[in-house]
Amino acid sequence: MKSLEKQVGGNHYKKFKIQPIEFILANNLGFVEGNVIKYICRHEFKNGVEDLEKVKHYCDLLIDHLKKQETSVKLNNEPVQPARSLYDGECLPPIPSVDERLNKIREDLKHPKNPSLHV
């Protein structure tokens, strides 16, 4: 991917055999899990303890969210629901792959009257 050759604000991700974003996208990780990966990978090369504190914070957010879901399931005797946003409680739509997003952008560039670059 051409965009992986460029990094804004340093080179701390280029030091890895696989950049965190590649791992995150390849494994369809969510926002919270992705940030845990990102901060744990870069702590030695960027912000040290501050990045490790961010890892703890995101882990705590995820733990609280999962406990809230478990409690809701136990109280309502409902099956486990899909992952929900930590902020609004709504189900998140599936995340399109990088190739799907690039294809959509290419299509939008061919037909600019109906842009959908919000994907």
Q: What pLDDT, in 10s, does the model give residues 79-106?
A: 555 554 444 445 555 666 767 777 777 7
For 15-74, the DSSP string reads: TSSS-HHHHHHHTT--HHHHHHHHHHHHTTTTTTHHHHHHHHHHHHHHHHHHHHHHHHHH
Domain count for the chain: 2
Looking at the structure, do residues 83 and 26 belong to the same domain, yes or no? yes
Same domain, 72 and 102: no
Q: Do 65 and 106 reside in the same domain of the chain?
A: no
If asked whether residues 57 and 109 sit together in one domain, one would say no
Domain match, 82 and 119 both? no
Shared domain for 98 and 68, answered yes or no, is no
Same domain, 6 and 45: yes
Structural domain of residue 30, as residue ranges? 2-88
Instruction: Provide CB contacts within 8 A for 13, sequence distance 6+.
Output: 7, 19, 20, 21, 41, 42
Same domain membership, residue 56 and residue 30: yes
Tell whether 41 and 68 lie within a shared domain: yes
DSSP class of 12? T
Tell me, yes or no, whether 115 and 82 share the same domain.
no
23 plus 79 within the same structural domain = yes
Q: Position 96: which residue type?
A: P
Tokens of 116: 């959908």
**Which residue's structure tokens are 């919270």?**
32
Tens-level pLDDT at each residue, the chain (119 residues) = 576 666 666 666 767 788 888 889 988 899 999 999 999 999 988 899 999 999 999 999 999 998 888 777 666 665 555 554 444 445 555 666 767 777 777 777 777 665 554 44
Say what the pTM is: 0.56
